């Protein structure tokens, strides 16, 4: 179930959610602004808990997000937050 942008302006970890930019089957995607570094990242806010398979698929999705193709670098620039719905 999508949150219709209700989380805009909220802070998750070191990121402030600035804009809802997409919706998927198990997550909404926000543009996030790092509160200390002033950098931007796509933040996936999950609709529920991930299975091990879902987590593996999420990590696999990160590789193309990194300009170097380095998954560990992409993980540092992305955030993941599970919510109870």
| Per-chain mean pLDDT for the chain | 75
What length is written for the chain? 85
Distance, in Å, from the CA atom of 84 to the CA atom of 67, rounded to the nearest integer, reads 32
Domain covering 11-82: architecture: 2-Layer Sandwich (3.30)
Distance, in Å, from the CA atom of 42 to the CA atom of 77, rounded to the nearest integer, reads 8
Distance, in Å, from the CA atom of 9 to the CA atom of 62, rounded to the nearest integer, reads 24
pLDDT computed for residue 33 by the predictor: 95
Residues paired with 40 in a beta bridge? 33
Task: Delimit the domains of the chain by residue range.
Answer: 11-82
- Copy the structure tokens of residue 4: 């219709």
Cβ burial, residue 50 (10 Å; 0-12/13-18/19+)? middle
Q: Give 51's pLDDT tier (boundaries 50, 70, 90).
A: confident
């Amino acid at each position: 179930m999508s949150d219709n942008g209700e989380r805009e302006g909220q802070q998750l970890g070191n990121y402030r959610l600035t804009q809802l930019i997409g919706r998927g089957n198990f997550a909404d995607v926000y543009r996030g602004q790092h509160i200390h570094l002033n950098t931007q990242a796509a933040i996936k806010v999950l609709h529920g808990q991930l299975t091990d398979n879902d987590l593996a698929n999420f990590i696999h999705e990160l590789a193309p997000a990194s300009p170097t193709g380095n998954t560990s670098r992409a993980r540092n620039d992305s955030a993941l937050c599970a919510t109870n719905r």
